[in-house]
Amino acid sequence: MAKKVAFMQGNEAAAQGALYAGCTFFGGYPITPSTEVAEVMSIELPKINGKFIQMEDEIGAMASIIGASLTGAKVLTSTSGPGLSLKQELIGYACIAETPCVIINVMRGGPSTGMPTGPSQSDVMCAKWGTHGDHAAICLVPASVQELFEETVRAFNLAEKYRMPVMIMPDEIIAHMRERIVFPEPGELEVINRTAPSVPPEQYKPYDTKFGDVPPLAAFGSGYRFHVTGLNKAEDGFPTTKAALVQAEEERQVRKVDANIDDIVTFEEYMLADAEVVIVAFGSTSRSARFAVNEARKAGIKAGMFRIKTFWPFPDKQIKALAGKVKAFITPEMNLGMCTGEVKRCAEGKVPVVGIFRVDGEPINPGQILDKIKEVK
Amino acid sequence: MAFDYDKYLRPNKLPHIWCPGCGHGIVMKGLIRAIDTLGLEKNNTAIVSGIGCASRLPGYLDFCTLHTAHGRAAAFATGIKMAKPEMNVILVGGDGDGTAIGGNHFIHACRRNINMTYIIMNNNIYGMTGGQFSPCTPTGAKASTTTYGNPDPAFDIAKLAIGAGATFVARGTAYHANQIDKLIVEAVQHKGFSVVEILDDCPTTYGRRNKFKSVIEMMNRLKEVTVPIKAAEKMSPEQLQGKILTGVLFKEERPEYTAEYAKVIERSKGAK
Ligand SMILES: Cc1ncc(C[n+]2csc(CCOP(=O)(O)OP(=O)(O)O)c2C)c(N)n1
Ligand code: SF4
Ligand SMILES: [Mg+2]
């Protein structure tokens, strides 16, 4: 049978990806340029007996999805800049209470209201450091409509597998562009569901490390009664201030990602085998970078691209390895140096890291990158 | 035979954190009796709170319990109720939690008329953080942040709830302990968003600063300032001056949110 093909907008593809992954609950608050995700979910979810709710603000939206997740649902919210700032309080709650949920944040200019319709890549630090306290973060940065679909499925898988909030951050260009998309058949992409408890209700503890760093999560209303809090908690889910328990719990929550980096981090290596000048790019900027690399190659320059697909955890290992081989990194991004700082950290002073920054609401074009390649080669 | 509260408590989570003389425990006992009368199944009942002394209540009860973030109980609970409408969802919290930081979620839960019951323990103060004024602190009262007397006017929680669209609104007090469960029973039985405000006391951070000599004096005040709504019908405006009405203050039938959403589901299936 021929595959279903469509010409589709990024945000719509993200919504379709969520449905493919088994999402049955969406709580949101409208904001440009992410609103189409909510619109599609409002149309599609009731058809499958799912629930869509437009909440009173982004804090409420985040709260509603955590509540729904605790009943066993796969849950999604979508937002952009100012909404992401509001969600941060309860993103932290989802971290500490270890509640799976997916947050799509379409990056527009900031801070504050910024440039609602302009593209940006300036929320990537907010994905990691936005909520207070030590916590793990996973953030995916797709670069095409197809990838936005697939990465949304993966975001659900990671959220369910690691019991935590997972963010997808397409920039406005990826979210609003229309491209050909080939829909995977059901079963073609892996779909992961959270592990249900294997013990009877009397023995169940929601953070029982006997089952590893990601203990099984029961659902409210399924016969398991347990307590969930945003306070530091012991394995039984109740608050504790016992130093050793708090220390262990905090470390475990970070470790569950740190110890599984190779399972989480994804990237693309483009013409890296002999590359001397390596562009490190993500999202729509990587599309310009690919073009620039091709042009540079035509001109006889050994250029290549390391495309970040998973921004958090950051691909430290790969960039550190490259730093020992190449002559320079170029880091184009629609912000004032967020990825550049991370690449510099990984380059450890071995090679220069040259940024190209744009925060004027315009994309970085291939010519700008090509010029820089010629400059540093 | 004495009522068996233990059946609903988590014995190893006691003693509770509340100070001697705090009204929150009286409300918890009322809630337990109400749950018993209603026969709510433990596995199918979620008790959700925000942050504050009052919001510690769910941890002591053997149900599906969720201690959320400050002010957010109604929004978390809305997610639970929408995802699993067959669950009973009861919210508990303090006056500060519900009417300040949580005010927006509160009024929108009222507006949606989603079938949940919200019990607000109004002790007129932010107890947990040491007695700063809340939106329910009387004008002129002393709090740790109103040393010169509170300049703010106070919310009337019941009026706020009615204005926002709650379809059942009742008020009781910690003094009238035996009424608490009756009000909660009626509230839970009502189909729609029901609000039960319980006037209670915080001797530790409010009483002390406002010249109450004892918990008994604070409790007596709850008796003195309140009038049952039935009795009020026979009283003159002069007699009612400064009095707070108790009992079921408002009740109406209006479409309930999860039932309305079930209709959305039906309509979506007919749509192309
Ligand atoms: C976002 C946030 N802001 C502030 C606080 C601090 N805080 C904790 S409890 C509380 C007040 C609780 O008052 P109330 O809801 O009336 O409950 P009570 O303690 O009086 O029972 C405040 C301000 C917090 N925990 N979270
Ligand atoms: S501080 Fe006040 S509200 Fe908190 S437990 Fe003590 S008496 Fe109750
Ligand atoms: Mg209070």
Strands of A277-282's sheet in order across: A267-270, A303-308, A277-282, A328-333, A353-357
Ligand 1: nearest atom to the Cα of B134: 16
A43 at B interface, C-beta within 8 A: yes
CA B100 to CA B79: how far, in whole Å? 21
Q: How far is the CA of A147 from the centre of ligand 1 (A)?
A: 43
The predicted structure's pLDDT at residue B272 = 63
Q: What is the pLDDT of residues A44-86, one digit of tens each?
A: 999 999 999 999 999 999 999 999 999 999 999 999 999 999 9
All residue ranges of chain A with pLDDT < 50 are none
- The residue in chain B having the minimum alpha-carbon distance to the alpha carbon of residue A226 is B64
CA B72 to CA A90: how far, in whole Å? 9
User: What residue spans define the domains of chain B?
Assistant: 19-229+241-270
The predicted structure's pLDDT at residue B271 = 74
The predicted structure's pLDDT at residue B147 = 97
* Residue keyed to tokens 């013409």: A271
Specify whether the CB–CB gap between A47 and A216 falls below 8 A: no
Q: How far is the CA of B134 from the centre of ligand 1 (A)?
A: 9
Residue A215: asked if its preceding bond is cis (omega within 30°), the reply is no
A258 at B interface, C-beta within 8 A: no
Q: Which two tokens stand for residue B213?
A: 């000599």
The predicted structure's pLDDT at residue A324 = 93
CA B221 to CA B168: how far, in whole Å? 26
Residue B15: asked if its preceding bond is cis (omega within 30°), the reply is yes
Q: For residue A124, count other CB atoms closer than 10 A to its CB.
A: 27
Helix (H) or strand (E) holding A229: strand A227-229
Q: What is the pLDDT of residues A297-316, one digit of tens each?
A: 999 999 999 999 999 999 99
Q: In this structure, which ligand is nearest to the CA of B23? A: 2
**Could you give the ipTM of this predicted complex?**
0.98
Entry pTM: 0.98
Q: How far is the CA of B266 from the centre of ligand 3 (A)?
A: 42
Report domain A267-376's class: alpha beta
Mutation site for B-interface testing, chosen from A29, A56, A65, A77 by largest number of B Cβ within 10 Å: A56
Q: Which residues of chain A lie closer than 8 angstroms to B105, CB-CB?
A: 56, 59-60, 63
Q: Which residues of chain B lie closer than 8 angstroms to A43, CB-CB?
A: 268, 271
CATH pick for B19-229+241-270 out of 3.40.50.720, 3.90.1150.10, 3.40.50.970, 3.30.70.260: 3.40.50.970
The predicted structure's pLDDT at residue B270 = 83
The predicted structure's pLDDT at residue B134 = 98
Tens of pLDDT, residue by residue, chain B (272 residues): 799 999 999 999 999 999 999 999 999 999 999 999 999 999 999 999 999 999 999 999 999 999 999 999 999 999 999 999 999 999 999 999 999 999 999 999 999 999 999 999 999 999 999 999 999 999 999 999 999 999 999 999 999 999 999 999 999 999 999 999 999 999 999 999 999 999 999 999 999 999 999 999 999 999 999 999 999 999 999 999 999 999 999 999 999 999 999 999 999 998 76
B201 lines ligand 1 (CB under 6 A): no
B73 lines ligand 1 (CB under 6 A): no
Mark which residues 210-239 of A lie under 8 Å from B by CB.
220-231, 238-239
B264 to A59: CB separation less than 8 angstroms, yes or no: no
CATH superfamily name and code, A5-182: Thiamin diphosphate (ThDP)-binding fold, Pyr/PP domains (3.40.50.970)
Please report which residue ranges of chain B form alpha helices under DSSP H.
24-38, 73-83, 95-96, 103-112, 157-164, 177-189, 215-225, 229-232, 237-240, 257-270
Region at A337 (left for phi over 0; alpha for psi -120 to 50; beta for the rest): left
**Residues framing ligand 2 (Cβ under 6 A):** B 18-19, 22, 24, 53, 123, 127-128, 202-205
User: What residue spans define the domains of chain A?
Assistant: 5-182, 201-262, 267-376
Q: Which residues of chain A lie closer than 8 angstroms to B68, CB-CB?
A: 63, 66, 93, 230
Q: Which residues of chain B lie closer than 8 angstroms to A229, CB-CB?
A: 59, 66-67
What string of DSSP letters covers A99-139?
--EEEEEEBEE-STT-EEEEE--TTHHHHHHSSSSS----E
A70 closest CB neighbour out of B66, B264, B271: B66
Helix (H) or strand (E) holding A247: helix A243-258
Q: How far is the CA of B154 from the centre of ligand 3 (A)?
A: 13
A223 to B43: CB separation less than 8 angstroms, yes or no: yes
Q: Which two tokens stand for residue B254?
A: 């209006």
Identify the residue whose C-alpha is closest to ligand 2 atom 3.
B127
Q: Which residues of chain A lie closer than 8 angstroms to B107, CB-CB?
A: 56
A65 at B interface, C-beta within 8 A: yes
Q: How far is the CA of B62 from the centre of ligand 2 (A)?
A: 22
Count how many pairs of residues, chain A against chain B, have C-beta atoms within 8 Å. 136
Ligand 2: nearest atom to the Cα of B52: 4
Specify whether the CB–CB gap between A60 and A29 falls below 8 A: yes
- The residue in chain A having the minimum alpha-carbon distance to the alpha carbon of residue B270 is A47
